[in-house]
Amino acid sequence: MLPTADQQARARTAYTAYGATTGNLNHLGKPMPAWDDLPPTIQQAWTAAAAAAAAYTRNPDPQFPASLAGGHALVLEYGDCEILASCQCGQRLGTSTPDRPLDDHATTWERHVINL
């Protein structure tokens, strides 16, 4: 699967930031090539690294873990005729059909954040 334009932009930004902090020298002390001159495998590695960093960009607030700032907000997604519930931290909380109350997911989420 090819990276999206957003993923490519993040990778290029990360690569540029790396160069800005190293005087545009690579890990061997040699000049860094331009992004477009990098081999595809190296661009893919930067894309993967940037994606991992983007997934870990929050600074959890330990005083309020059950919040967006705390990294533990309740996330509800509609997919394939079902509601998917999860915590912002990635913990899956269950599924239901759209005709069921969403409160069921809130209860599961509350039990999750209480145990943090």
User: CA 90, CA 58: separation in Å to the nearest integer?
Assistant: 13
User: CA 28, CA 72: separation in Å to the nearest integer?
Assistant: 40
Report pLDDT for 25: 94
- Per domain, the residue ranges of the chain are 5-55, 74-114
The pTM assigned to this predicted structure is: 0.50
59-104 confidence digits (pLDDT tens): 556 677 777 667 788 889 887 889 999 888 888 899 999 998 888 8
pLDDT (mean) for 19-36: 93
